[in-house]
Structure 1
């Protein structure tokens, strides 16, 4: 087993160090080494050096998906940590942050330790996100200090909004004391009892709609609290133009807000639901073309800090049913990078911005290793072959592919 790896002739794109050039990358004992300091043949036995010719490829800091649902514990028939991280690795991700809406909810040391124990055998690093409130019920905060001490990197009731504004205020204050990130699932429940975006398509299909205000009202609350307290907050899975504008304006005022969006929001619209396609049912729902364009603009101008998949697998039993009854969720770990590369091809963002959105910024926001190819850094590296076709075939996906829907 080689202890050193030399990636040769690749285009190194390392925005954290303002590097974009053709050169070699040397990895020694799991860390980035300086390939010009000591020739590999002199620094170690040549039999221990593996070489990869990356000519024509991008060599970037390992991609980090800061919003996935690995379903373990409790719903392993949909996904588990091993199958989920296998999908992550196949999609170019070296690390993922997993949301707490498992069964039981990750609101305690016991569940966090279980996740990290399973992750020891995983194909990507796993960073647990714990619940803000006990059992994500919105009544009382979890033990942030204990959770942080046991490996949690952020807190969120993702899947459910924190309805109580006072509880969210306390969460921001308490999280700041413990160096944890608060991730908001921004949704006003009284407005979100529909099944798809409210608009022309929902009217045609006779389906109850969810207005964009259901998201933007809660985004406004989170920004108002963060601004009042001087604390930070991260807005998850932004889907609409109004939310993007609120975040843009808040950043201009110096509010400590960061935000993510997902590939389906800059790729698809609610027209994908035509035919009552349950694969296109998710929360927040797919929005209008106007919203899709606003999300793309937000990626271009820095309103959004990260692209995250919100990878949320379900079984066929939960998707191949009537639209009203189908579960919300779409998978994305295998397709996120190809869809995001389309933004580069179309001139929406450049290569450096893509790496920032998918690696540099997620590492910075979560406060975890990665996001850089600096000498001495942990060697999480993604090599992107731009010429390799990627057929989207379920049979080529990870072992639970047959029960996962997109």
Structure 2
């Protein structure tokens, strides 16, 4: 039994769980202290690397890291070896993920082998339960393919998650263009993101297919999404924890350890995505958890791998975004919306995840408590240590995660 505050309710409650369900929320005695209960977090964008990339992460280590971060459901991106682009490979991933501390939902590739040349068999994959298609890590750059893909999304009630990166514009860019010259490396311009988003929004309008935009990072991209939503287009968008708090100046100071795709942007861009998350223009936070072994992150700006990890630290970052600076209070209902309720809806798993914290509902939740702490690489659960938040000073920490009544993470 946990003593918790519940978003939308006054006071603290004793959370009573039995038979995998929340049985009761019993008012706690006056003067009691406790944490806050949230529905289990849902990550729509996780790279778990298995099969083929087990040096960086395995399903087991990634799932354990996710549970430590309060997650109960993660969507596993398709850029594994082999690529998750057939029904057989979706089924194999589900088989491998049985018994883990989180539910793993396979994301199918949008094109065969992530090659950007031919669409996967959307009908067969949708019939096998796939709800999200993405070549993330690569942009589907061909407008005709995106047109066909979004047409298929409309037909099957699924969604296409686009990594917006125009090859012709970005070329071999590695950092935000305004700081690239000072580092002597090629720049990754905002236009490379915005051009693809603008094109794909037009195609979503033409087809009615659901478009989900991965890792929005620029003020211009925010403006495009805001206008599209105003026009009623079927679009959703995500932002990562690192794009909410880190800028290209952090990248200049800390070097290739902060090389990520899309790159860390300007302070003005960070302000824009934070405001967009708060006002609902950006629907969700997704980690884009991208583990890499140390040897691939320790090179130069040109040779180091793109990617950061944040499954274990996403919650305190988002809590900070939704903290009222005058009162110090956190809008926990908003945190639950962007990290659980809306991701579950976008991913088509709202029957399982993002459920209300109420009697009769599955006991799938996390408990967060106010606590000053600093993540340390020696205390991580992920196999890889390429987190941008090691040593950061956080004000909230997940102390318990439960999946259908089974504890999957507890603090000592």
TM-score of the two chains, using structure 1 as the length reference: 0.88
State which of 360, 382, 386 in structure 1 corresponds to 2:370.
Answer: 386
Counterpart in the other structure of 1:22: 12
Taking only aligned residues, the RMSD between alpha carbons, in angstroms, comes to: 2.0
Counterpart in the other structure of 2:73: 95
Offset, 1:356: 0.4
The answer to whether the 8 Å contact 1:314/1:327 transfers is: yes
Counterpart in the other structure of 2:5: 11
Offset, 1:401: 4.0
Query: How many Å separate the matches in 1 of 2:367 and 2:149?
Result: 38
Counterpart in the other structure of 1:86: 64
Counterpart in the other structure of 1:370: 353
Structure 1: tracts of 5 or more residues without a match: 1-5, 37-53
Structure 2: tracts of 5 or more residues without a match: 27-31, 389-412
Counterpart in the other structure of 2:258: 280
Instruction: Give the 3 Å change call, closer, same or farther, for CA 371–342 of structure 1 in structure 2.
Output: same
Query: How many Å separate the matches in 2 of 1:219 and 1:279?
Result: 27
State which of 337, 348, 351 in structure 1 corresponds to 2:332.
Answer: 351
The answer to whether the 8 Å contact 2:158/2:210 transfers is: no
Counterpart in the other structure of 1:223: 201
The answer to whether the 8 Å contact 1:127/1:151 transfers is: no
Counterpart in the other structure of 2:132: 154
State which of 233, 236, 242 in structure 2 corresponds to 1:264.
Answer: 242
Q: How does 1:166-245 map to 2 (within 5 A)?
A: 166-193=144-171, 194-199=173-178, 201-245=179-223
Query: How many Å separate the matches in 2 of 1:268 and 1:396?
Result: 22
The answer to whether the 8 Å contact 1:107/1:134 transfers is: yes
The answer to whether the 8 Å contact 1:395/1:401 transfers is: no
State which of 249, 254, 278 in structure 1 corresponds to 2:227.
Answer: 249
Query: How many Å separate the matches in 1 of 2:147 and 2:22?
Result: 41
Query: How many Å separate the matches in 2 of 1:141 and 1:215?
Result: 22
Q: Secondary structure at the match of 2:322?
A: helix
Q: How does 1:113-152 map to 2 (within 5 A)?
A: 113-152=91-130
Moved more, 348-357 or 252-261: 348-357
Instruction: Give the 3 Å change call, closer, same or farther, for CA 126–205 of structure 1 in structure 2.
Output: same
The answer to whether the 8 Å contact 2:153/2:209 transfers is: no
The answer to whether the 8 Å contact 1:82/1:121 transfers is: no
Offset, 1:342: 1.2
Instruction: Give the 3 Å change call, closer, same or farther, for CA 162–323 of structure 1 in structure 2.
Output: same
After the TM superposition, which parts of structure 1 deviate over 4 Å for at least 4 consecutive aligned residues?
Answer: 18-21, 346-349
In the alignment of these two chains, the number of paired residues is 377
Offset, 1:203: 1.6
Q: Secondary structure at the match of 1:166?
A: helix
Q: Secondary structure at the match of 1:325?
A: coil
Q: Does residue 23 of structure 2 align to residue 33 of structure 1? A: yes
Counterpart in the other structure of 1:330: 308
Offset, 1:346: 4.8
Q: Secondary structure at the match of 1:11?
A: strand
Query: How many Å separate the matches in 2 of 1:213 and 1:127?
Result: 32
**1:197-243 residue CA offsets vs partner (Å, 9 max, x unmatched):** 000x2121111101100001111111111112222211010000000
Query: How many Å separate the matches in 2 of 1:164 and 1:20?
Result: 52
Query: How many Å separate the matches in 2 of 1:260 and 1:399?
Result: 22
Query: How many Å separate the matches in 2 of 1:318 and 1:401?
Result: 11
Q: Does residue 383 of structure 2 align to residue 400 of structure 1? A: yes
Query: How many Å separate the matches in 2 of 1:357 and 1:311?
Result: 17
Query: How many Å separate the matches in 1 of 2:335 and 2:310?
Result: 16
**1:315-368 residue CA offsets vs partner (Å, 9 max, x unmatched):** 111111121011100001011111111112355972211110001100111110
Offset, 1:190: 0.9
